[in-house]
Amino acid sequence: MNQNARSGNPDAMGAYHYGQEMHASAKYRNRSWDEVEPELKSAWESRSGDAIAWEASRAAVRQGWDSVAPDIDADSYYRTHWNVRYAEGAENGGYDEHAPAYLFGDEARRLEKYRSHDWEDAEPQLKSDWEARHPEQMSPWERFKDAVRHGWNRVHVDTDDYRS
């Protein structure tokens, strides 16, 4: 839980509970944070009447959001992310082309050799591993790097559990 929320800060506690309630609601339940954040921000700003309030509360809202166990399987989660991030650009290919990249990042983050590394440290080796697996593609890393990173970032390194 957010440090301010743990210390009893009523604003942070409200933001934390808002994040929990929104993730548990039928409207947002099976959607990723990246997809819903703009809607949550707009609703939060409408409630408070203050755009600065979102920036001050965002971290606590996100922690509340993340505290709710996701009801969504990995493929559905990644498909939703792809729809939000890439679906508009026909040059990006379809989800089925990106699915291996999401799973590669997800699986790599769980490997012992990457556990103690952050993305920036691991990226050169991940790129090399990816290109070794997919030598026939033109510039595969640059095309799929964001999907690999999203898969990587979804896994809590300490628990092997998914983040929301």
Q: What backbone phi and psi angles, to 5 degrees, belong to 155?
A: -95, 130
Q: Is 3 helix (H, G, I), strand (E, B) or coil?
A: helix
Q: 62-83: per-residue pLDDT in tens?
A: 888 777 765 567 788 888 888 8
Q: Where are the domains of the chain?
A: 3-67, 74-154
Residue 56 CB coordination number (10 Å): 14
Among 2-16, 87-101, 142-156, the range of highest mean pLDDT: 142-156
pTM summary value: 0.55
Six token digits for residue 41: 């921000």
pLDDT for 7? 39
pLDDT for 72? 63
Inform me whether the pLDDT recorded for 93 exceeds 50. Answer: yes
